[in-house]
Amino acid sequence: MRKGYVMLFTALALGLAWAIRGHFGHEWGAAWAGGCGGLALLVGMRDPRWMRRAPALAALCAIGWGAGGIMSYGIVIGYCRGNEVIDVIYGFSMLAVIGGLYGFLGGGLFGLGLESADDHKPQWAGLIAEMVAGAWLAWGLLIYQFEWRMTPPRSELWAACLGASVALAWYLYREGYGRAMRVAAYSALGGGLGFAVGNFLQVMGSSLDIAYNWWNVMEFTLGFCGGLGMAYAVVTRTWPASIAPSRPANWLALLFLFVAIPFVNHLMAVRADKLTSLAESLQIADVVGFVIRQKIFAWVLAALLAVGELLSWQRYGERKSTLTVAVVPGMFFGYLTLYTLFSYITAGLFYKPIDFGISHTAYVPILLVLLALWIIWGRKDQHHAVMERPESGLQWLCTIACVALLLVALTFASINMHDTPLNGAHRRFFVETPVEE
C-alpha cells in the first residue's frame, strides 16, 4: 500500500505541475514542474537521509526535467492529427522520443543524486562537461551534417537533449550508478508513453468535438506517467547510505528553486503586454490598474514563499524530527500552490466565474487530493524499498517491442476517429511541392 501511495502521490504531483507548465512553456516552466516532482517523491518516501538533502535533490530533478524544455514539439503533434499512416505513426513515435528524453534527463540526474554516497561521489563538473559536449556534438552532427530534422522548420534541439542523454547514460554505466540508470530508464519509459497516450487523448477529444483544453490533458498525462515511472524505479530498490548533506549545496538549491525559478517565470509569463490583452478580453475598464495589481500580487506571493521557505530551512532544516513532518512537506505544497496561483493570475481566473469546462478548474481539486493523500498515508512510517531482481536485457527489449506495438495501435485508432485531417494537422512525408511556372 505504501508503495502505491508514493507512486500515485508523485505521479499526481508531476502531472499537475506539468499541466501548469503548459501555460508557461520553456525550460524554466519545466524546471518548476521538475522541482515539484522531486519534492513529491521525497515527501512520499520520508527517508531522513534524503530529507536533509531535499533542496539539492529537488534542484537536480528540476534541472533534469527543465533541460528538456528547450525541445519543440508543436509540429510533431500536428503530424498525429492527419490521416496518412506514415505521418501519424511518425508523430506518435517522435512524441515518445521527446517524452523519453524529458524523463531520462530528469530521472537520471535525480537518481544520481539519490545514489550519491560518501564512498561513491559523482564528479559533477566532469559530468556536466560531458553532457554539454555530447549535446553540442549530437546537435551539430545530426542536424547540420546528416540533416535528420524532426520538426522542420521548428527548433531541432531534441538532438542536443539526445546527445546529453547519451553522455549521461555512458557516465552512469561507466561509474557504476545502476540505480540511477534504472530511474532514468523508467522515467523515460513513463514520459515517452505519457506523451504519446496524452496526445492520443487530445486527438480523441478533438475528433468527438468535446470542447476542452485537451492540450493540457496531454501535458498532464506526460507528467503523470513520467512521475509514475520515476517513483516506481525508486520505491522498488534499496539505496545506499546517502552522502552527508552540504550546507552550501542546499542553500544554493533553495535560492535556485524558490528565487530564480519563480523570478524568471514571473518575468516571462506575468508580463505587462499579456496582462493588458487579458484585461481587454475581460473588459476591465482600468487596464493599467489591473496590470499593476496582478504583477504586485504575483511578486508578493513569490516573495512570501521564498522568505518563508528560507527562514524555515534556516531554523528547522537541520532537525531530523521536523524535516520529515513539516519542513519538506511544507516546501512541496507551498511550491506547487504558488505555481498553481501563478497560472491562475496569468489566466485571470480570479476575475472569472468558475467554469468546469476549462482545465484550470481541475488544478485545485488535484492539489486537495494530494493533500488528502499526504494526511492519510504520508505521515506514517517511511517507505522501505525492496530489492527486486534486476531487469534483463531481454525484458527491456520486450518492453520496447510492446511500446512499438502500442504506438502502432494508437496510430490506427487515431486515423479511424476522423475522416479528414483535424485542424492543425501537418504533413511530413511525400508532400507535393508546387512547380513554379
| Residues 108/195, Cβ–Cβ less than 8 Å | no
Residues with Cβ within 8 Å of residue 269, at least 6 apart in sequence: 23, 24, 29, 342, 346
Packing angle of the helix pair 85-115, 393-415 (nearest 10 deg): 140
The stretches in the chain having pLDDT less than 70 are 1, 318-321, 323-324, 381-388, 432-437
The residues that bridge with 117 in the sheet, in sequence order, are 120
Q: Residue 436 has what pLDDT? A: 52
Q: Residue 92 has what pLDDT? A: 97
Which residue do the cell numbers 546517502 mark?
Answer: 242
Gap between the Cα atoms of 234 and 183, Å rounded: 7
Give me the DSSP letters along 194-221. Answer: HHHHHHHHHHHHHHTT--S-HHHHHHHH
From the number of C-beta atoms within 10 Å of its C-beta (0-12, 13-18, 19+), residue 91 rates as buried
The residues that bridge with 120 in the sheet, in sequence order, are 117
Domain locations in the chain as residue ranges:
2-122+177-415, 126-171
Q: Residue 269 has what pLDDT? A: 87
pTM to 2 decimals?
0.94
Grid coordinates representing 84 are: 496518412
SS3 117: strand
| Residues 70/163, Cβ–Cβ less than 8 Å | no
| Residues 258/305, Cβ–Cβ less than 8 Å | yes
Q: Residue 321 has what pLDDT? A: 62
Packing angle of the helix pair 261-269, 26-45 (nearest 10 deg): 140
Q: Residue 432 has what pLDDT? A: 66
Q: Residue 435 has what pLDDT? A: 47
Peptide bond into 240 cis (omega under 30): no
Q: Residue 2 has what pLDDT? A: 81
CA-angle at 342, arms to 341 and 346, nearest 5°: 115
Compute φ and ψ for 120, nearest 5 degrees: -150, 75
| Residues 179/239, Cβ–Cβ less than 8 Å | yes
Grid coordinates representing 120 are: 561513491
Q: Residue 153 has what pLDDT? A: 86
Q: What is the dihedral of CA 196, 197, 202, 203, to 10 degrees?
A: 80
Gap between the Cα atoms of 95 and 138, Å rounded: 19
- 298-to-60, 129, 206, 209, 353 alpha-carbon distances in Å: 25, 36, 34, 35, 20
